[in-house]
Amino acid sequence: MFQATSLNERNDQVQRRYRLMFLAMTLLLVLPVLIILTLLVVRGAPAISMEFLLAYPKSGMTAGGIFPALL
């Protein structure tokens, strides 16, 4: 096949650096979202019951469940 030149090798190095940089940026953006979702699930799980999920709203939608919103 073709022999890699120094320009090809340099381009490969640059591509690897940018790929690593974009991976790091992606992780920095996704990590806080995962932390927030984890906190919501862990701290909110005790407040959620099947009655809350499957009941209809009552008292002018100030009490009761959220079933219609889930549909």
In the chain, where the domains are located = 6-70
Pick from 46, 52, 49, 44: which is nearest to 69 by CA? 52
Locate all alpha helices (DSSP H) within the chain, ordered by sequence: 6-44, 50-54, 67-70
Residue 47 DSSP label: G
- The reported pLDDT for the residue numbered 19 is 98
Q: Per-residue pLDDT tens for 2-61?
A: 788 999 999 999 999 999 999 999 999 999 999 999 999 999 999 889 998 899 988 888
**What pTM does this model have?**
0.57
Q: For 9, how many CA atoms within 13 A lie in the half-sphere containing its CB?
A: 4
With a cut of 80, say whether residue 1 has pLDDT above it.
no
Question: How far apart (Å, rounded) are the C-alpha atoms in residues 64 and 68?
Answer: 11
